[in-house]
Structure 1
């Protein structure tokens, strides 16, 4: 049985949308990864602008992914950035007043951030949702 042209167009459009979302997801993950790796490597911190660009991309495109396996990736990246920002701000006084404990706290947050980004990338590569 040959599929009608309308179902082929819908399937093709869905595939194009899925591929577009995946491309946006990869762009966002790569921007996050650059920031995450640089956060772990001393004195290699790129501009926070990269992180903000990735966050804005995720916030803008999140609605397009509703109902797809990729929706979890948008939420994952947004939550990762927000939690990392929270923990960096909470540990900032420690960093400012007690350098070594502050550096260790920021290293832990940075490694956690890197872990979350790599975990999301692995799941994205497998075309699977990511969970907590």
Structure 2
């Protein structure tokens, strides 16, 4: 009789989809995406990330939370720089660049989350 092959508990994609931490990461990606329609939503998302970080530490969701937090803070920094320099025309390029970068980060993270991978 041969032993069955070892399969990690979280390798089942359906099991990962029902994970509450994964669902929180989905909510935060949605909140970040809603930034273009309602500007305060990424703040709500990053608060969720910080409040729930202890719950996801050491899990496959932790890189997503870190990715989302980093996206928020870097995006906020460049949003402020772009807004302050907008009267100097160059700020509009900063704002366009950060908008494209922000969308890229949300899409890349959400697709990786859907595939059960780190961003």
Per chain length, whose mean CA-contact separation is higher, i.e. which structure has more relative contact order (CA < 8 Å, sep 6+)? Answer: 1
Cα displacement (A) at 1:91? 2.7
* Distance in 2 between residues matched to 1:69 and 1:19, nearest whole Å: 11
2:90 counterpart residue number: 101
Cα displacement (A) at 1:34? 1.6
The alignment's TM-score, normalised by the length of structure 2, stands at 0.80
**Where in structure 1 are there 5+ consecutive unaligned residues?**
1-10, 39-44
* Distance in 1 between residues matched to 2:94 and 2:109, nearest whole Å: 23
Counterpart selection for 2:114 from 105, 108, 125: 125
1:47 counterpart residue number: 39
2:57 counterpart residue number: 66
CA-to-aligned-CA distance 1:31-52 (integer Å, 9 cap, x gap): 11121xx2xxxxxx4132x111
* Structure 1 runs, 4 residues or longer, greater than 2 Å off: 90-93
Cα displacement (A) at 1:104? 1.8
* Distance in 2 between residues matched to 1:32 and 1:91, nearest whole Å: 18
Q: SS at the partner of 2:60?
A: coil
* Distance in 1 between residues matched to 2:28 and 2:61, nearest whole Å: 12
Q: SS at the partner of 1:29?
A: helix
* Distance in 2 between residues matched to 1:58 and 1:22, nearest whole Å: 12
Cα displacement (A) at 1:90? 2.3
The alignment's TM-score, normalised by the length of structure 1, stands at 0.72
* Distance in 2 between residues matched to 1:47 and 1:89, nearest whole Å: 13
